[in-house]
Amino acid sequence: MTTDKYLLRRFDTQNEEAIDTSILESIPFDYPGSNTEVVYETDEFTSVCPWTGLPDFAHLIIRYFPDRSLVELKSLKYYLTSFRNVGILQEHAVNRIQRDLVSLLDPCSLEVEASYNERGGMRTRATARYQR
């Protein structure tokens, strides 16, 4: 039967150790206490399903109120790109990004939201929030 060959098909994935947190850099924020909201958005966030290796594409929004540090944008782009071949659940990806950025920045608050493209007739939106 021709469909059986597709049931066993799997693409190689990387585990979460491939997520490159070492590339993340912070830069000083000169206006602590200013209640400044910083928002970064991309339509190019990708990771893969940990079971099939098929790609998950998402519109990603990172929203935070910095205290004394900002994330350096080029380092953020490289960090997010390191998810490209990582097998991670969609709900876990937003929590991992939130955890890594909170660890780097110690912000007043931070939110990561991902709206994933439809797959199998279902769309997913996952949000992870941090409040100091």
Q: Which sequence spans correspond to the domains of the chain?
A: 4-16+25-131
Is-catalytic flag, 108? no
Let me know if domain 4-16+25-131 sits in CATH 3.20.20.10: no
pLDDT for 7: 59
Predicted local confidence at residue 35, as pLDDT: 94
Q: What angle do CA 44, 92, 68 make, to 5 degrees?
A: 75
Please say if 43 is a catalytic residue.
no
Percent of all residues in the chain with a pLDDT value above 90, rounded to a whole number:
83
Q: Which of 20, 49, 67, 106 is catalytic?
A: 49
Whole-angstrom distance, CA of residue 125 vs CA of residue 132: 23
User: Given this model, what pLDDT does residue 52 score?
Assistant: 84
pLDDT attached to residue 8 = 64
Q: Catalytic: which of 4, 12, 20, 56?
A: 56
Check pLDDT > 70 for residue 104.
Answer: yes
Residues 6+ apart with CB under 8 A from 72: 24, 25, 26, 27
Tell me the pLDDT tens digit for each residue of 2-43. Answer: 556 655 666 778 999 999 999 999 999 999 989 999 999 999
What pLDDT is recorded for position 74? 98
Query: What is the mean predicted confidence (pLDDT) over 61-72?
Result: 98
